[in-house]
Structures are given as C-alpha cells and as structure tokens.
Amino acid sequence: MFLVWFGSTAHLIISDPALIKEILVLKSEFFEKDEPPLLVKRIEGNGLLNLKGQKWAQHRKVIQPIFHTENLKVMIPMMAKSMEEALMKWSEKMSNIGKVEIEVSDWFQNLVEDVITRATFGSSYEAGRAIFQLQAEQIVHAAEAYHKVYIPGYRFLPTKKNIISWRLEKEIRKSLLNLIGDRRTRRRENASCRAALSEECPRDLLELMIKAADESPQSKESLAVTENDIVEECKTFFFAGKQTTSNLLTWTAVLLAMHPQWQEQAREEVLRVCGARDTPTKDDLAKLKMLGMILNESLRLYPPAVAIIRQAKTNVQLSGLHIPRGTELIIPILAVHHDPVLWHHDAQEFNPARFATGAAQAAKHPMAFMPFGLGSRRCIGQNLAVQQAKLAIAMILQRFSFELAPDYAHAPSVVMLLHPQHGAPLIYQLCVHGSCGECKMDDDLVALLPRIVDTQRIINEGRFGCTHVKEEVQASEKIDT
C-alpha cells in the first residue's frame, strides 16, 4: 500500500486482497465510484458503469435478465454463426500452403461488436450496428484526445477534432432516439416477440429498457426510466463490452501461439468434447475445463481492465487505517495479478494449471483473482464475455493451428484498457494431423474441410490436391445435391 498525490487529491494504492475485499465487498456502502473526466464519461455513456445509488440498483435489476443462463444459451447459435462466417473469410485469403496471416486484435473487435450489437439491439441489428460504428469512431477521437496534454477549456473550442466529435455525438444520440421510437411502435404492433424467449428473440437491452420505461412509476420522477437513460445505457454496453472481450480474445490467442503445448492440449480437449465438425453447445462449453483455465490465466496476466477506482464517501476505518472522506482508492488489478507473494515464484509465467482446482484456490488469497471486479458492482457481462471467448477460441482450435507472425512485437500498453500496442499478427494454418499419407490429414478434418473453406477452389488451385480430399469433397457434394 502507498500514497500518491495528484494535485490536491490523495490516492491510496491498495494491493492487499484482504483490504480490497473490505473496500469492494464488506464495506462497499462507504465507497462509491469516482466521477470520470467528462471526456471519458461522454464515450463510456452515463449508464450502469457510472451510475450510483438507487438509479444504479434499478438499472442493474432491469438489465440483469440479458445475462441469465437461459438467455445466454439462446445466443450461442447466433454467436457461432457470426464466428463461422468470419472464419470462412480466412480461407479466401489463404496462401497455397494453407496459411494466412491475421491481425487478430482488429479481427476480434469486429466479431465482438457483432455480438454486443445483438445483445443491445436484438432485432434492430442493422440500425444498431450503424450507430455503434459511429461510437467506435468517437472512441478513437477520445483516445487520441486522452493522450494529449490537458488544457482547461480546450474541449469548448471549435477545433476541427472537436467539431467532428460534437457531430458524432449528435448523430449517435439522434439515431438512438429514432431507434427507440421505431422499437416502441413495433412493440405496440407486435407483441409476439415480447412474450417468449426464443432463438430468434433473445432478450436485448433496448427491449428491457423500453419495457422498464413504459412501466416506470409516473409519481416517482427520479426513478422513472427515461429515453435519455436508454441512450446512455446503449453507449455504456458498447464501451464496456466490446474492447474488454476482444482484448481477452486477443491475449488468449497470443498466449496460445506462444505456448504451442498448451494450444495442443486445448485442441485435444475441444476435439474430444465437441468433435471436429460440430458447433459447440452450451453443455459442451461447460465441459471445456482446460480452455476455462487458459482463459483465466490469460485474464490474470493481461486483465483488460487494469485497475478499479473508488472514493471514500465518509471518513472510514479500513483494518485499523483511518481513511478520510474524499480519498481516492486505486486497486491495481494488474499488479495484484502479478504479485509473487500471492501467485508464487512463477507469477510472471503462463501456467494455466494453477487454475486446475478453481479460481479461488489458484493464489494464496481466494480474492486475488479479480479481472471482473468484486462485490455488488462486479461486471454484469462476465458470463457473456466468457461464453463468447470460449466459443470463439474453441471454434478456431477445431479448424486451425496458429503461431506468432515474424513481425509480432510484444508490447502490452494501457490506453484505458490493456491492449497490444503494435497489434497481434498471427499466422493460422488449416489443422492437419494424422492419417492420410499423402496430405497428412485425418478423416475427421478432411470431412470438415467443405464446411470451413471453399475446398473445391483450393483443389482447383492445386492446394491439398490428394485423392483422399478430392473423394471426400465429391462425396459431400453428392450428399448436398
């Protein structure tokens, strides 16, 4: 623990898990979220992430059903479809030895954006996607501004960048309000999609917030859910859900590329549980223990959110320490996750086996692992993020093996979140191992080929041209016709 001063505000950095538990769990009523700078709040949205008190509790209750197990289960086929379509595109870029270089940090962002858009807007997907693209643009501007020296009042000047940012802000708001209006009309006209949870209509943020707004108590104005609340929650979902999950996927892919023996073990598990051709189901995902350990180890070494900040609401005692009102407390997740006192001598190394008996047993303190925060304000999207990450990595492992590209440079860097400064180029190769003497593919993978690549084109171009593959493809074409 140590103290630093930023201007006139004291910041206490606390990395002892016992004290962290007091702040986030046992005495959480004495601490509140800090007020982010206006620039950050504008892009994060004034939603769940930043709300306080009763309004926060009310919104959390309204939004929670999106993340219930049953709703997440319904989202799996949609997630798998996005993933299959995206992987299919890799084949178009493959060289004649079946290899392709992919910059995965960009690639995973697109994939996650698709899922977050569906979780937020459901059936209004296309319009929602266009809005989120504007928000992505705005985040890029904000990240640039965040890195510049702060000049008071600068954000009010009509500079070129400020004008673009104001235009984007206006456009996002206007489009979201239009979308809310459209959905309200559709709700009135068609009640069928509201009544039941089905594969076509998992619960989405827009639907739940509009329902809450329509049912808001008219008398208690401060608790009424307004159109503005809906707009802000949509923005928050995008900000909180997209880059965090894509960073988890990126770091996991990088770590597996760096550690081929773990990659092979994870692939063996995926092929054993899900087979080489089937889309993993919810039950399959629950059985992927090794992949779960790998994701945890990735979140330990490279937690997308590197710190949590709280402010003391009143004077408060913390394990005998007197914390004056207004003190800012910083919980450095990244440092706690790398502390050799908690994680043993191999704290800096990638060793998923430490999670073999569960996250609570992995370190010397059961709360030393906190990538999603702790207590009542812990991440609401945790299960969605883990489900998407498991599904995406499992589907890649079914089809491809991968390694670092020669120009990969390891440079974790924090720009709000922890991301690879120079991107993450990886080389993917169609998974070939096994029994065919000619092409070295085993039967399962050969049968899988028509589903993952345009095999006929590959054969025509002279790649994988052995009889074994040709026969399999011809047979599958006969079945299709």
Contact positions vs ligand HEM (CB under 6 A)? 33, 48-49, 60, 116, 119, 236-237, 240-241, 244-245, 248, 304-305, 308, 371-373, 377, 379-381, 384-385
The CB-of-33 to ligand HEM minimum distance in angstroms stands at 6
Residue among 373 and 423 whose Cβ is closer to ligand HEM: 373
Torsion of CA 227, 231, 232, 234, to 10 degrees: 130
Residue with Cβ nearer ligand HEM (33 or 184): 33
Residue 353 C-beta: closest distance to ligand HEM, Å? 21
CB of 304 to ligand HEM, least distance (A): 4
Q: What is the DSSP letter of 415?
A: E
Under the phi-then-psi rule, with left for phi > 0, alpha for psi from -120 to 50, and beta for the rest, what region is 314? beta
Give which of 324, 305, 303, 306 is closest to 31, Cα–Cα: 324
**Nearest-approach distance from CB 245 to ligand HEM, in angstroms:** 4
Least Å distance, CB 198 to ligand HEM, is 21
DSSP string for residues in 129-142:
HHHHHHHHHHHHHH
Residue 324's φ and ψ, nearest 5 degrees, are -70, 150
CB nearer to ligand HEM: pick between 311 and 429: 311
Nearest distance in Å: CB 81, ligand HEM? 19
User: Which residue number places its CB atom closest to ligand HEM?
Assistant: 381
Tokens, residue 33: 């979220």
Burial class, 173, CB count within 10 angstroms (exposed 0-12 / middle 13-18 / buried 19+): middle
Please say which residue, 308 or 458, places its beta carbon nearer to ligand HEM: 308
Q: How far is CA 412 from CA 408, 424, 431, 451, in A?
A: 12, 10, 29, 35
Can you tell me the distance from the alpha carbon of 357 to that of 362, in angstroms, rounded to the nearest whole number? 7
In Å, what is the CA distance from 223 to each residue of 192, 216, 229, 453? 28, 7, 11, 53
Whether the Cβ atoms of residue 326 and residue 312 lie closer than 8 Å to each other: yes
Q: Which is nearer to ligand HEM, 241 or 280 (CB)?
A: 241
Strand order in the sheet with 2-6: 2-6, 9-13, 328-331, 308-312, 31-33
- C-beta closer to ligand HEM: residue 48 or 257: 48
Closest to ligand HEM by CB, 61 vs 433, is 61
Kindly state the smallest distance separating residue 230's Cβ from ligand HEM, in Å. Answer: 14
31 three-class SS: strand
Residue 56 Cβ, how far from ligand HEM at the closest point, in Å? Answer: 6
> Residue 167 Cβ, how far from ligand HEM at the closest point, in Å?
26
Residues forming beta bridges with residue 328, ordered by sequence position:
11, 311
The nearer residue to ligand HEM, 409 or 414, going by C-beta atoms, is: 414
Q: How far apart are CA 265 and CA 270, in angstroms?
A: 9
Please identify, using beta-carbon distances, which residue of 241 and 425 lies nearer to ligand HEM. Answer: 241
Largest CA distance in the chain: 77
